[in-house]
Structure 1
Amino acid sequence: MEILNEIPAKKTKRLTSVVWNHFERVRKADAQYAVCVHCKKKLSGSSNSGTTHLRNHLLRCLKRSNYDVSQILSAKRKRKETSQSPLRQSNLGLTTTYEEGKVKDEILSPIPLKFDQELKKEESNQAINLGSVKFDQERSRLDLARMIMLHGYPLAMVDHVGFKIFVKNLQPMFEVNNNGAIELDCMTIYSKEKQKVYEAIHHLHGRINLAVDMWGSPESSEYICLTANYIDEDWRLQKKMLNFISLDPSHTDDILSEVIIKSLTDWAIDRKLFSMTFDDCSAYEVMVFRIKDWLSQNRPLLKNGDLFDVRCVTHLLKSIVQEVMEACRDVTHKIRESVRHVKSSQTVLGKFNEIAQQVGINSGRRLVLDCPMQWNSTYMMLEAAIEYRGAFCLLQEHDASYSKALSEMEWEWASSVAGYIKFLLEFTNIIIGNKYPTANIFFPEICDMHIQLNEWCKSPDDFLSSVALKMKLKFDVYWSKCSMVLAIAAILDPRFKMKLVEYYFRQIYGSAAPDRIKEVSAGLRELFNEYSMGSSSPDEDSGLPGSCLPSSSNSSRDKLKGFDKFLYETSQSQNMSSDLDKYLEEPVFPRNYDFSILNWWKVHTPRYPILSMMARDVLGIPVSTLGPEVAFSNGGRVLDQYHSSLSPDTREALLCGQDWLRMEPEGTISFMFIIKKYHLSTLHIQITISCSRNHPNSEQFSLTTCGGNKLTCSMVCSISSISSRRLSSEISLILLLVIHVKFDKLSKPDRADSSSSLKSTLSFSLPV
C-alpha cells in the first residue's frame, strides 16, 4: 500500500502552443527547425528551445497577417478560465442588467457590410492590419447562427470536419460550438427578431392582411404558414412570416380555425385584421365562417366581412390549367409519345427534319419533351409540336413504327387547348413578374379572363365548349368571392378610378352592367364611410391614423377644450364626406410604365387623408400568395427533407427567422418582363433600367439572365454605347425571363441628392 502511494501521478500531456499555427516543424539530420510560414525563416524547433523565441519572431515578422499574438494567448487563457466557471452557460439567456442588455443587443445586431468606393485595387491586395481589431467570440458565434438561418444551411454544418478546419485556419481564436449550441443561438436570434416584428406590427397605423398557405412534406406531414401583409408608414409593401405550424394529419377546419385564432391572439392583430387570403378557391368555408364569427364578437368587420375572404388567384389559374390538362389528357399523351418517338434516334430525327423541309416548315424551334409536373413545359411541348403538325401527319407514311399519329380533329383540339394554356401562362407571368404586387393590378387581368372564358364557351365544337365550361365554373366561384375587393382596389388606382370598372363591366354584363356598377359604387362608399366614422371616433385600438385629438397648450385650464373636440369632429366629418367624391371627380392620372401607386398615395395622403388610409389597407391585400417556384407546378408547396426533420419549435424559428433576416443586396436591381411576341430564331428584347440611389461607375454593369429553370448566360456591356447584342448561348426560354442587374462598381452620386437616378434603355437580341 505504501509503495502505491509513492507512485507519482501520471503527468497530463502539455497542450501545444497556438504559436505553432504559424510554424512548420522540419527535421534535418539530427536537428529540428521551426520554419515561419510567413517569411520562411528557420528558427530552432527542438523541444528544449521552448516557444518564447518563436513568439518574439512573430511580433517582429512584417509579412504575416498581423494577428495580435498576445491577444491570441490572452484569449486562450480567458477561455480556459471561463470554461471552469459554472455560471458561464447558466447566465446565458437569463435576466441581465440594463448595460448587459445593451451589449447583447449590439451583439445580436448584424454589422452592415460596406464597400469603400475610394479603396484602390493595390491597397486591397495588401495585408490587412488586424492588430487593432478586437476579436469577439460571442458576436462571431451569433453571426454564424445568423448566417445559418439566413441561407437555410443545416445546423449540422458546424460539426462538419471541413467547416471546422476552414474556420480554425481563418480565425484560430474562434471556437465553433456544437449543433445543440448553435440551435440555441438561432432561438436567441429568433426571439430578438420576433420582438422587432411584433413592435413594428403593434405600432402600425394601418390594417393587416393575413395570407394562409398550406404546405406538405416528403413524409406527408402538413403545415400551415401565416404571413402578415401590410403597407408601412413609408408606403412600402411588407411581408412578414408570423408562424409556421405543424398540423395533425387528421386536422379539420375547426382545428385550423383554432390554430389561426391562437396566432391572431398571440400577435395581438385580431383587431387590426382587414382580410385573409387562402390558397384554395373552394375549401375552408367552415374555417372562414368560424374566424369571422370570432372576430365579429370583439369588433365588427369592415363592410360586414364582405371583403374579408379572399382567394389566391394563382391557385385559381393552376386549378383551371389542371382541368384543361385532364380534359385533353389523351391528346397530350399522343403528342408526348410522338415527340419521344422522333427524338428516340438520330435516324428518326433526320427523317423527320427532311419531311418538315418538304412540307415547307422552316421553324427554328426544336421539339421538346415536357415535365408532366410542370404545366408550362407541357405548353412548350404542345406549341412546338403544333408548328410541326404537317410533318407529324406525313411521318406515319414514312415510318411504320410510328403509331401515335393524331387525327385532324385532335390536332385542332390541341391547337385550341394550347391557346387556352398560353392565355393562362401569360396571366401567371404577369402575377409572378411583380415581386411586390399591389391589389390594383389584378382587376383588368381577371376581367380579360372573364371575357375570354365567355368567348370560349361559345365554341361550336362540343369538346372545346365543354372544356371552357369547366374552366368557367371554377372561375365563377372565384369571381363571386373576390370581384368586389378587386374592383375597389382598381378604383383606388388613380389611373383608372371608376372608368375601368365601367369599361369592363359593360363587356362582361352587357345590359345588366349599370346595376353591377352601382353595386361596386355602393360597396366603395360603404367602406369609405366606415373609415370616416372610425377616424372621427378616436380609439386607441383602432389601428387607424387620426385617432388622436389635437392637443392644447394649456389643456388642464383651457375652458374651450370641449370646443376643440367639437371643431375637430365637425370639420373632419365635412372633409371626409367630400374626400372620396373629390378623388373620383378629378381626372385620371396618365398611364405610364414608371408609375408607382404607392408613391402616388404617399404624396397625396394630405389631400385625401381618409381615402389614403383605406387605400393603404386595400392595396396591401395579397391577391396571390404562391411564388414562382410553385406557380407552374401541378403540386403545392413542399417543405424540404431537412426542415421536415426538425422539431416544430426549431423549424418555425429557422423558417420565420430566415424570412425576417432576408435582405436585398445593395446595388442590385431585380425585375421581370414578359415576352408575348417573338420571331423565328431571335427574341428582340427592350429593357428599361432605372437605378435610384446609386449609379454604375463608368456606365459598366453586369447582366445575368435566367430563362425558365436554368441559368443561361451573362455579359458585360456599356449602357451608353450598346444598341444590339447577340448572346451566344443555348437557352431554354419559357416566355418569362428574370433579369438581375448587378453593378460591378458603385460610385457616389455626383450631387448631394441621394435620390439621383440613372435611366437608360438597353436593346439586344436573344437566340432561342
Structure 2
Amino acid sequence: MELPSTPVVKSSRLKSAVWNDFERVKKGDVMVAICKHCKKKLSASATSGTSHLKNHLIRCRKRCGRELTQQVLVVRGNQKDSTFNFGSYQFGQDLSPMELKFDQEQSRLDLKFDLERSRLDLARMIILHEYPLSIVEHDGFKRFVENLQPSFKLMSSHIVKSDCLQIYGNEKQKVYQILDKIPGRISLKADVWGSSQENKFLCLTAHYLDAFWAPQKKILSFVMVDPNQEFSVAEVIVQLLMDWDIDRKLSSVTFDDNFTNDVVFRIRDRLTQNRLLLNSGQLFHVRCAVNILKLIVQEILEAIHEETHKIREIIKYIKSSEGILQKFNEIAQQVIGGTERCLYLDCPSQWNSTYFMLDSAIMCKDVFRHLQEFSSSYAPLLSDAEWEKVGVVCSYLKLFVEVNTVFSGVKYPTANLYFPDFCDINLKLVGWCNSSDLFASSLALKMRSKFDAYWSICGLVLAIAAILDPRYKMKLVEYYYRQIYGSNAQDYIKDVASGMKDLHNEYAVCATLTSFDHGLPCEVQSSNGLNAALPIDNDSRDRLRGFDKFLNETTDNQQIISELDKYLDEPVFPRNVDFNILSWWKVNAPKYPILSIMARDVLGIPVCTFTSESAFSTGGRVLDPNRTALEPDILQALICAHDWLGTELEDFKFKTSPHKHALSSDHSTNCFGSNRGSQLLSPYLLG
C-alpha cells in the first residue's frame, strides 16, 4: 500500500536549479523527488545530494522533447533572418553555465537551420533526381516540409528556377577549371536531339582521361539548333569551343548521322586555319560506330520487311488463343522436341529482339506448317524461298548483334576496342559479297557501301588506337589487312604505319615546344661572379619555333624515333581477360613519355555516341514533350548540372550504403531518362 504523499514547502536551502524540474514531497518518513516531466520518483533526502537528479534530467526523454518543441515555437514566433540557432534560446536559466552546456550537448539543443542552404539543397535535389520545378507548389510536398521543418519558407517555382540556374553557374565554373587543368586533349561527342515540336537540340559532351587515367565526361551544352542551316550549326559548335576555351586542346569530335560532311569540314577548316588541330586534323573527324551498325541493320531488315510482318502476325495469332497455343505446343513437342525459344514476339523498336524472333521462328517453321492443318483461319505462311531469305538475314544479323553486345557491355569503352570487331565485319562482307546467292550478294553489296563510307573516315583512327594496345600493336593491323586486302595489303599497312609515325612526330614536336615555352629563365654567371637571370626574348623564342619543327622533320632524331620503334619492336603483351589498357599506360608512361601523351588522347576518343541502353534502339533521340516546354536556359541548366552533379550523387550513395553501392555494376545516371524506342528525356522537369 502506497503511503500518502505530502507536498513539502520549498525551503530556502533548495537553491539548486534542478528543483525547477522536480517536486519534493514527503511519503511517510521518506523525502522523494518526483520528476515533473516523466513522474519518476527519486530520493530527495538531505544526504543524497542532487547529482543523481541532474543525471536523470539529462536522460529524461520527455523533458528533452518538450524543450525542443518549445524552442521551435519560440523561433517560429521570432524569425528575423534566414539563419536560426536553436541553442540561443536557453531553458533552465537557473542551471550553471557548465550544467547548461552539458545539458545542451546531450539534448542536441544547439541545432542550426540555414534557410539559404536548405533552398539550394532543394534545388540540387530537383536537379539530381529530375523532379519538376513545380514540386514546391504541390500540396503533399508543402505538408511534408511544414511538418518536417516549420521554419522553412516554401518558395515559388520561379525562385526554384533561379536557384537551379545559380547552381548551374557555380558548377559550370568548376567544370571550366577542371577542363583547364586536364593533362591531355579533349574529345567531343556531338548529338542532335529531336522534340515533339520538331525542334532540334545540339548536345555537346567532352570526353577525356584525367590525371589518373580514368575516363571522364562532362556535358558542356544543350542548345537549340537548325540542322538545315549547316553554316549556323558549324558556327555554334566553334563558338561553344571558344566559350569553353577548349578549341586549343581539341583532339577529335565524334558526330552522329545528323551532321553532314559539309558541317564537319566547316568546323575542321576553322580550326586548322588557326593551327589548333594536330597533324592537320588527322583524328578530328570520327563517326559513331554503333550508328553505322544501325544503318546496316536497317538495310537488312528492310530487305525482309514483308516476311518479318508475316512472322510477327503468325506469332500473335497463335498467342491469341489458349487452344491454338496448346495445339502448337503439342505439335512442337513432336516435331522439334520442345517449345524452348519458340514464339518469341519482338519489340519493333529494338532490332536485336527482331533478330531473336526471326531466329526462333526458323526453328519452328515445320511446326507452323503442321499447325495450319488444324486451323482454317491460320495466318498466311511463308514460302520456302521466303524462309531462305529469313535464314540469310539471320546469319547477317547474328554478327551485328554479337558485335553490338560487346560495345554496349562496356561502361567506358576505349577506342582500341572497336578495330578487331570492325575488321571481322569487313571480312564477313567480303565473303558475303562473293556469295552465289543473288539475294545474299546483292544485300551484302548494299551493306558494304555503307560500311566503306564509315571505314574511309574512321579506319585510320581505329587502327592507331589498336596499335596503342600493347596486346596488338602493328601485328593486329598486319593480320587483318592481309586477309581483307590480299595482294594490296602492304600498301594499306604502310599507310597506317605512316599515319602512326606522323602523328607521333607531331606529338613529339608539341612536347618539345611545350617544354621550351614553360622552361625556366636561363641562369648565367655574371661578371661579378653572382648568378643572374637572363630573360628570354619572346620574339626570339617565336622565331625559333619554326626551327624546332624543321629540326624534328629533317634530323634523324634517335630519341624521338627510338621511342616509337622501341614500343613496336618489343613483344606484344599477353592477352588475358584481366588486362586494363589504361592501367598499362599509366604504369608505362615514364618509359614512353611522348607515346603515352598520344595514347591518352587517342584512347579517350568516344567512338560511339550512344549509351548502352540505346545501343539496339531503332529510334532517334527525342525530347519528352514536358522537357520541350521548358525555356532554353533552364533546360540546358538542368541537363548539364544533372550530369555534373552525378559524381556527387554517387559519393553520397557510397557513404550511405557502401556495400550496396559496391555490388552495383553501373552507377551512372542517365540525364536523358529512359529509352522507349526513341531515347526520351525524363518527363519530370516541367516548369
TM-score (norm 2): 0.77
In 2, Cα distance between equivalents of 1:67 and 1:276:
63
Deviation at 1:634, TM superposition (A): 1.3
Deviation at 1:620, TM superposition (A): 0.8
Q: Which runs of structure 2 are paired with 1:193-592 in the superposition (5 Å)? A: 193-248=171-226, 251-280=228-257, 283-538=259-514, 548-549=518-519, 558=531, 574-592=558-576
Aligned twin of 1:714:
none
Relative distance call for 1:561 and 1:71 in structure 2 (3 A) is farther
Contact 1:535 1:547 in 2 (8 A): no
Percent identity of the aligned residues? 49
Deviation at 1:630, TM superposition (A): 2.4
Relative distance call for 1:492 and 1:268 in structure 2 (3 A) is same
Higher helix share: 2
Is 1:665 paired with 2:650?
Answer: yes
Deviation at 1:426, TM superposition (A): 1.5
User: Could you report, residue by residue, the CA deviation over 1:398-446 in whole angstroms, capped at 9, with x for unpaired residues?
Assistant: 2221132011121121122122222111111111111111101110011
Q: Mean alpha-carbon deviation: is it higher for 311-320 or for 380-389? A: 380-389
Contact 1:66 1:128 in 2 (8 A): no
In 1, Cα distance between equivalents of 2:566 and 2:250:
28
Deviation at 1:130, TM superposition (A): 4.4
Deviation at 1:72, TM superposition (A): 2.8
Contact 2:329 2:339 in 1 (8 A): no
In 2, Cα distance between equivalents of 1:128 and 1:220:
61
Contact 1:532 1:573 in 2 (8 A): no
In 1, Cα distance between equivalents of 2:330 and 2:361:
16
Contact 1:489 1:619 in 2 (8 A): yes
Match of 1:625 among 598, 605, 609: 609
Deviation at 1:562, TM superposition (A): 9.8
Deviation at 1:140, TM superposition (A): 1.5
Aligned twin of 2:11:
none
Relative distance call for 1:235 and 1:703 in structure 2 (3 A) is closer
Relative distance call for 1:334 and 1:608 in structure 2 (3 A) is same
Q: Mean alpha-carbon deviation: is it higher for 417-426 or for 60-69? A: 60-69
Aligned twin of 1:76:
76
Contact 1:67 1:130 in 2 (8 A): no
Is 1:650 paired with 2:620?
Answer: no
In 2, Cα distance between equivalents of 1:357 and 1:171:
66
Deviation at 1:548, TM superposition (A): 2.3
Deviation at 1:61, TM superposition (A): 4.9
In 2, Cα distance between equivalents of 1:668 and 1:456:
50
Aligned twin of 1:135:
113
**Whose radius of gyration is greater, 1 or 2?**
2
Runs of at least 4 residues of structure 1 off by over 4 A?
Answer: 38-41, 57-61, 63-67, 80-83, 127-130, 550-563, 569-574, 666-669, 694-697, 700-706
What secondary structure sits across from 1:398 in the alignment? Answer: coil
In 2, Cα distance between equivalents of 1:695 and 1:574:
51
In 1, Cα distance between equivalents of 2:315 and 2:419:
38
Matching residue's letter, 1:453: L
Contact 1:66 1:131 in 2 (8 A): no
In 2, Cα distance between equivalents of 1:79 and 1:217:
46
Is 1:144 paired with 2:128?
Answer: no
Matching residue's letter, 1:643: R
In 1, Cα distance between equivalents of 2:651 and 2:380:
54
In 2, Cα distance between equivalents of 1:628 and 1:40:
64
Structure 2: where are the runs of 5+ without partners?
1-36, 41-56, 84-104, 668-687
In 1, Cα distance between equivalents of 2:600 and 2:665:
35
Match of 2:622 among 617, 635, 638: 638
Contact 2:521 2:534 in 1 (8 A): no
Matching residue's letter, 2:362: I
User: Could you report, residue by residue, the CA deviation over 1:172-231 in whole angstroms, capped at 9, with x for unpaired residues?
Assistant: 222222211111111011001000111111122311111100101122221010011111
Number of corresponding residues: 574
In 2, Cα distance between equivalents of 1:398 and 1:289:
63
Q: Which runs of structure 2 are paired with 1:669-684 in the superposition (5 Å)? A: none
In 1, Cα distance between equivalents of 2:154 and 2:67:
19
Matching residue's letter, 1:145: A
Relative distance call for 1:589 and 1:701 in structure 2 (3 A) is closer
Aligned twin of 2:579:
595
Q: Which runs of structure 2 are paired with 1:678-717 in the superposition (5 Å)? A: none
Contact 2:470 2:573 in 1 (8 A): yes
Aligned twin of 1:120:
none
Aligned twin of 1:681:
none
Aligned twin of 1:184:
162
Deviation at 1:303, TM superposition (A): 2.2
Deviation at 1:513, TM superposition (A): 0.9
User: Could you report, residue by residue, the CA deviation over 1:462-516 in whole angstroms, capped at 9, with x for unpaired residues?
Assistant: 1122111111111000000000010000000111111111111111111111111
Contact 2:58 2:106 in 1 (8 A): no
Relative distance call for 1:264 and 1:74 in structure 2 (3 A) is farther
User: Could you report, residue by residue, the CA deviation over 1:95-121 in whole angstroms, capped at 9, with x for unpaired residues?
Assistant: xxxxxxxxxxxxxxxxxxxxxxxxxxx
Is 1:610 paired with 2:586?
Answer: no
Q: Which runs of structure 2 are paired with 1:720-759 in the superposition (5 Å)? A: none
In 1, Cα distance between equivalents of 2:341 and 2:464:
43
In 1, Cα distance between equivalents of 2:112 and 2:171:
26
Deviation at 1:131, TM superposition (A): 2.7
In 2, Cα distance between equivalents of 1:463 and 1:519:
35
In 2, Cα distance between equivalents of 1:461 and 1:133:
80
In 1, Cα distance between equivalents of 2:66 and 2:473:
66
In 2, Cα distance between equivalents of 1:327 and 1:468:
11
Aligned twin of 2:141:
163
Relative distance call for 1:474 and 1:195 in structure 2 (3 A) is same
Name the structure, 1 or 2, with higher relative contact order (CA <8 Å, separation 6+): 2
Q: Mean alpha-carbon deviation: is it higher for 572-581 or for 218-227? A: 572-581
Deviation at 1:575, TM superposition (A): 2.8
Matching residue's letter, 1:194: K
In 2, Cα distance between equivalents of 1:299 and 1:459:
48
Deviation at 1:283, TM superposition (A): 4.5
Relative distance call for 1:461 and 1:261 in structure 2 (3 A) is same
Deviation at 1:129, TM superposition (A): 5.9
What secondary structure sits across from 2:247 in the alignment? Answer: coil
Contact 1:440 1:490 in 2 (8 A): yes
Relative distance call for 1:40 and 1:638 in structure 2 (3 A) is farther
Matching residue's letter, 1:210: L
In 2, Cα distance between equivalents of 1:581 and 1:667:
47
State the superposition RMSD in angstroms: 3.4
Matching residue's letter, 1:632: F
